[in-house]
Amino acid sequence: MSKRTARPRARDRGHGGDTFAAILRQRLSRRGLLRVGAVVGTAAATAPLLEALGATPAAAQSGAPTPVAVKFTPIALSTADTVQVAAGHQTQAFLLWGDPLRPGLPPFDLNAQTAALQEQRVGFNHDFLAFLPLPFGSERSDEGLLWINHEYTSGREMFPTYNATNPSKEHVDIELAAHGATVVKISRNADLSWTYDVASPLNRRLTATTPMLLTGPAAGSELLKTADDPTGTLVLGTLNNCSGGVTPWGTVLTCEENFNQYFANVNALPSGIVKSAHQRYGLPSGASSRRWENYYPRFNTAQHPNEPFRFGWVVEVDPYDPSFQPRKRTALGRLKHEAATVVVAPSGQVVVYSGDDERFDYLYKFVSAGTYNASNRQANFGLLDSGTLYVARFNPDGTGQWLPLVFGQGPLTAANGFTSQADVLVRTRLAADALGATKMDRPEDVETNPKNGKVYVVLTNNTSRGVGSNPGTDPANPRANNRYGHILEITEDDYNPAGTTFRWEVFLLCGPPSDASTYFAGFPRELVSAIGTPDNIAFDRRGNLWIATDGQPETLNANDGVFAVATDGTERGWLKQFLSGPRDCEICGPTFTPDNRTFFCAIQHPGEGGGLTPPTSTWPTGSVPRPAVVAVWRTDGLVIGA
């Protein structure tokens, strides 16, 4: 996700030239597609190269591909301050920032905000969404709980009198209350629109001050102990909740991503393990951009050097139980988690995939020691506290290994500065550095395809690739100055997610189809929609991939959108734009109801950067821009995309 305080969006242009074409030629050759003699070696000839290698689908060679795998007419890129969607579909904005979650609250008033009220209202900047049918275990699509992550706050878009260099304590307290997540009961109406139950006892807010347990191998370690919590097992709140996942036992995994931006004054620390770890995770050397440390010393590392170690985890929550205390599962490692996608291996072991969303960081997976119990929900609640965390290495020949992050194995020893498994998990990035994992182009969402069993990894962009002294291209990250991003397709060997080896392919190299460095799984470029900076993804029940973007205003001069593409068959790679968001937003959390008759997504930060006076967006109220959930359905009530 984009956060102005965390990382700037890409603004430079270009692609990898000869390097890109050479790598693509190498990869296609490995796949057995090299059926011709010498071919050209420049990126400008990529399209003829694909044709010469036979990469164009047979159906496309003989005319318009049929049958159509994703059935809607694509829309064009847009700069309008509205949500636009493919013909034959209807949209609804609901669950806006500030909407009440308890009866009797006053209407939302921008000028009458308090922390106490915000704790009872929908939070700010919606991100990951999950629809959880009611009751648990059912496949109902007309009633359920909607989980909404709230990634971060932006005072300029929340308060008419905000002072970024000296915010008031009142503003800081409201921001703390607007972080975290919302759980709310929703139901589908007869006209296919949606309503939420303001009086449901299942409605709940998690915030940056909600008490949470630290569990697993790192719980109680010295690096997690603070003056406020000498046990190292209890932390206040969750921060920067980006994407997430849902477990087979119906809990939600919400991911702490860019937590570094909330802490201050790393330069005040003495040299040593603590300071170097904070620097590796990008904590500010001086004041934070938010200035929360002005009122809450726990955000000042000069006073509480261990507090940042208590963030950057995957948090497990039971949305069906409002009394459930959230648990930060340390066995899954500490990094800037974008997502946590869960799948059960043939052995019954639970596997969790996650990307570390930073330029030149890594792809991870966790494999549980225990096995999933489908007949006893409560028996699964400790599964994520014991197991093995792995980091990925991508080989040039299209194979790969999952490298175990286990204390005492390989370089993860006392001789190399690691003291325990807890230390390895708290300093996950440094452990992955030591193992020589492949440095990726911002690994964001990672999802598994329910139809073909493959794993899809989103690399949003990396305009630093191959620039100056930064790492150059490699087969899994084939474009220098990669401003458009790409998606990889992983096949675990023997289709076993718990295994340690895999094969991989480039599925999409995003950008405008006129750019010769783009690649759409071999589908003719002239037939697809332009796409930039893929971010969150989801699958429909037919195995089609739905992609939400973050950064198209800078890469394509157009609003962010939602795109759909087939992953198999003759239409594999035929990318179509389904939806366009309002001005200056990003689109997050794509998800479906089980019957695939409703598609949900989150509109985050409409009008970002414009503030409130004057706003660059007035969506969806016509006056004040407010993050919201969007529901989409076909006007004929049938399955979306089918």
| Mean pLDDT score of the chain | 91
What is the DSSP code string of 129-176? Answer: EEEEESSTT---SSEEEEEEEE----GGGT-TT--TTS--HHHHHHHH
The residues that bridge with 600 in the sheet, in sequence order, are: 591, 631
Nearest by Cα to 630 from 560, 578, 559, 581:
581
Q: What is the pLDDT, as a whole number, of residue 576?
A: 98
pLDDT digits (tens, 9 = 90+) for 177-192: 999 999 999 999 999 9
What is the DSSP code string of 591-637? Answer: EE-TTSS-EEEEEE-TTTTT-SSS-S--TBTTSSB--EEEEEEETT-
Nearest by Cα to 238 from 250, 248, 253:
253
The mean per-residue pLDDT over the stretch 321-348 comes to 98
The mean per-residue pLDDT over the stretch 516-543 comes to 97
pLDDT digits (tens, 9 = 90+) for 538-565: 999 999 999 999 999 999 999 999 999 9
CA dihedral 183, 97, 86, 340 (to 10 degrees): -40
Position 37 pLDDT exceeds 70: no
Position 3 pLDDT exceeds 70: no
What's the CA gap between 608 and 606, in Å, rounded?
A: 5
Question: What type of residue is 351?
Answer: V
Q: Record the tokens describing residue 547, joined without a space.
A: 């992609």
What's the CA gap between 155 and 172, in Å, rounded?
A: 9
- What predicted TM-score, i.e. pTM, was given to this entire model? 0.92
What does the angle CA 249 – CA 253 – CA 256 come to, to the nearest 5 degrees? 170
CA dihedral 599, 602, 606, 612 (to 10 degrees): 130
588 within 8 A of 534, measured Cβ to Cβ:
no
Half-sphere exposure of 366 (CA within 13 A, CB side): 29
Q: Which residues contact 316 (CB under 8 A, 6 or more apart)?
A: 247, 251, 252, 253, 326, 327, 329, 381, 384
The residues that bridge with 368 in the sheet, in sequence order, are: 387
Question: What type of residue is 145?
Answer: L
What's the CA gap between 599 and 590, in Å, rounded?
A: 7
Count CB atoms within 10 A of the CB of residue 63: 7
The residues that bridge with 352 in the sheet, in sequence order, are: 342, 366
- Whether cis (ω within 30° of 0) applies to the bond prior to 201 is no
What's the CA gap between 408 and 537, in Å, rounded?
A: 36
Position 408 pLDDT exceeds 60: yes
pLDDT digits (tens, 9 = 90+) for 102-111: 999 999 999 9
What's the CA gap between 429 and 361, in Å, rounded?
A: 8
Q: What is the pLDDT, as a whole number, of residue 609?
A: 84
pLDDT digits (tens, 9 = 90+) for 426-437: 999 999 999 999
Q: Which residues contact 640 (CB under 8 A, 6 or more apart)?
A: 89, 540, 592, 596, 597, 598, 599, 632, 633, 634
The mean per-residue pLDDT over the stretch 588-605 comes to 98
Q: What is the pLDDT, as a whole number, of residue 52?
A: 29
Q: How many residues does the chain have?
A: 642
Counting residues of the chain whose pLDDT is more than 70, the rounded percentage is 90
Q: What is the pLDDT, as a whole number, of residue 67?
A: 57
Q: Compute the chain's Rg from CA coordinates.
A: 23
Cα 365–chain centre separation: 15
End-to-end CA distance of the chain: 29
The residues that bridge with 38 in the sheet, in sequence order, are: none
pLDDT digits (tens, 9 = 90+) for 264-289: 999 999 999 999 999 999 999 999 99
584 within 8 A of 572, measured Cβ to Cβ:
no
What's the CA gap between 305 and 299, in Å, rounded?
A: 9
Q: Record the tokens describing residue 590, joined without a space.
A: 């794509």
Query: Could you give the C-alpha distances from 470 to 362, 479, 485, 569, in angstroms and in order?
Result: 15, 13, 17, 38
Q: What is the pLDDT, as a whole number, of residue 1?
A: 53
Phi and psi at residue 574, to the nearest 5°: -80, 95
544 by DSSP, 3-state: which? Answer: coil
| Confidence class for position 18, pLDDT limits 50, 70, 90 | very low
What's the CA gap between 35 and 54, in Å, rounded?
A: 8
The mean per-residue pLDDT over the stretch 562-588 comes to 98
